[in-house]
Chains A and B, each alone.
Chain A
Amino acid sequence: MSSTGRILPTLQRRNAPLASTAEQRRRIEAACPGRFDEKIRSAGLWPLAATGIEILQINVGKRCNQTCRHCHVDAGPDRRDVMPPEVVEACLDLLEHARIPTLDITGGAPELHPAFRDIVMRAARTGAHVMHRCNLTAILLPNYSDIPELLAAHGVEIIASLPYFKARETDRQRGDGVFEQSIEALRRLNCLGYGQGGGLELNLVMNPVGTFLPGNQQQLETRWKDELLRRHDIRFDHLFTITNMPISRFLEFLEENGRTAEYMARLVNAFNPVAARGVMCRNTLSVGWDGTLYDCDFNQMLDLPVLEGGPSIFDVQPDVLRTRRIAVGAHCFGCTAGSGSSCGGQTV
């Protein structure tokens, strides 16, 4: 498979200590100066529980053509975890029969799943709103260049990663040359009508390039729009800010720089009860590549399955899942810091 930018072996490939999710959880908890359950209790939200299933988020696999330094999935070209056909079928069946309004397809680079096109077409036929999380460079790879047209034809919302409007910052996080290719991909999407206000929605996601929290989403969106238009004649609809989660490769970055405790303290000190009320786990159900059910993609990467209503897509209990208790840990402070963070941006 072709790959993009500076490619590093994944934690799993290196057999690094942090390839173990138990070790990740141990280090996060050890470095955290607060208890998430106690904070949630003080905010009057204990036990944290789901309010429904508005979004079915399926992680179709960890294969990716990039190895971004902040990746909580530990995705990369060397990963072989791919959602098998029977899990895909069960997900599409749940989407349709549980009448879940939105399907959110994530990865890895979801385009690299062998049935990606089929998943998109069949999901769109159910009438669900389909969202695709795109790293932008995958759609430039040989054999994948038809995908933007396919997404446009089915009205799929694209959520594309771009941490900054300049190359230096973007490439530091995502690999050399990624910014330039991302701009090329965005131009292609604009040409197809994405981000032009005609109904094909193109949203950008930014994760901070470092150990700081994202700023005010609205103000950053204004600047991103101005700069991308002025510098590259690129348009998009909205910018979503997402806090870097102390998981997988970002945790490794923190550990290597001796900053895990400092970062966790920053997340804890920035706990916002209002942001906690809107965390995505309350209206999302996350499915792993092997069919295991999780409250969110972060719990998925830490091997924390749902506490009830599962544990697998093959024994799913939608009515239980809609009001399930959420599995929480110290990493959850990442979603409740400042203005909050979710796959749809800030939660306040």
Chain B
Amino acid sequence: MSTRPHYYDHQDLPRFSEIGQASEHLARKFFDYYNAVFEEGALTAREKSLIALAVAHAVQCPYCIDAYSRDALEKGSNLDEMTEAVHIAAAIRGGASLVHGIQMLNHANELGM
């Protein structure tokens, strides 16, 4: 039985690279790709950071929320911008649920009289 009291531990975030202890070549490919994704490109590094923050909330990853809250602040974003990004995640998640209601309507219409 594990002695760890929680599934999530913030001390695990800085240990991310340890995933490369096995299948090191795959970890290297992943981190190379990851770093390339966040480089300045058609989108600024700050814009990418805000997108990452929104996605972090959509996938509900506490490590990512921790990392990209800090990253967004370091890149000069403010609380208004960060909150709007989270609302986008919430809107898309909520919208994704609600738009499936059309499937429910379709089924209801097919089953009903």
Contacts and interface: CB of A to CB of B under 8 A. Distances in A.
Contacts of A224: 76
Which interface residue of B70, B74, B75 has the most chain A CB atoms within 10 A?
A: B74
Contacts of A166: 78
B45 A219 contact: yes
A208 B75 contact: no
Interface in B1-55: 14, 40, 44-46
B73 interface: yes
Please report whether the interface of chain A is mostly helix, strand, loop or mixed according to DSSP. loop
A219 B14 CA distance: 25
A216 B75 CA distance: 7
A228 interface: no
B74 A214 contact: yes
Nearest to A221: B76
A212 B14 contact: no
Which interface residue of B44, B45, B70, B73 has the most chain A CB atoms within 10 A?
A: B73
Contact of B74 (A168, A208, A269): A208
Contacts of B76: 215, 219-220, 223-224
B61 to A, nearest CB: 19
A215 B74 contact: yes
Interface residues of A, number: 16
Nearest to A265: B14
Given A164-B78, A168-B79, A269-B14, A212 B73 contact: yes
Contacts of B40: 219
A169 interface: yes
A101 interface: no
Contacts, number: 31
Contacts of A164: 78
A212 B74 contact: yes
A223 B46 contact: yes
A166 to B, nearest CB: 6
A208 B73 contact: yes
A315 B14 CA distance: 49
Nearest to A338: B74
B73 A210 contact: yes
A213 interface: yes
A219 B78 CA distance: 15
Interface string A223-239: 11000000000000000
Interface of B: 14, 40, 44-46, 70, 73-76, 78-79
Closest 7 CB pairs of A and B: A215-B74, A215-B75, A220-B76, A212-B73, A212-B74, A212-B70, A223-B76
Given A215-B46, A219-B45, 7 more contacts: A168-B78, A208-B74, A212-B70, A212-B73, A219-B40, A220-B76, A223-B76
10 contacts: A166-B78, A168-B79, A210-B73, A212-B74, A216-B45, A219-B75, A219-B76, A220-B76, A223-B46, A223-B76
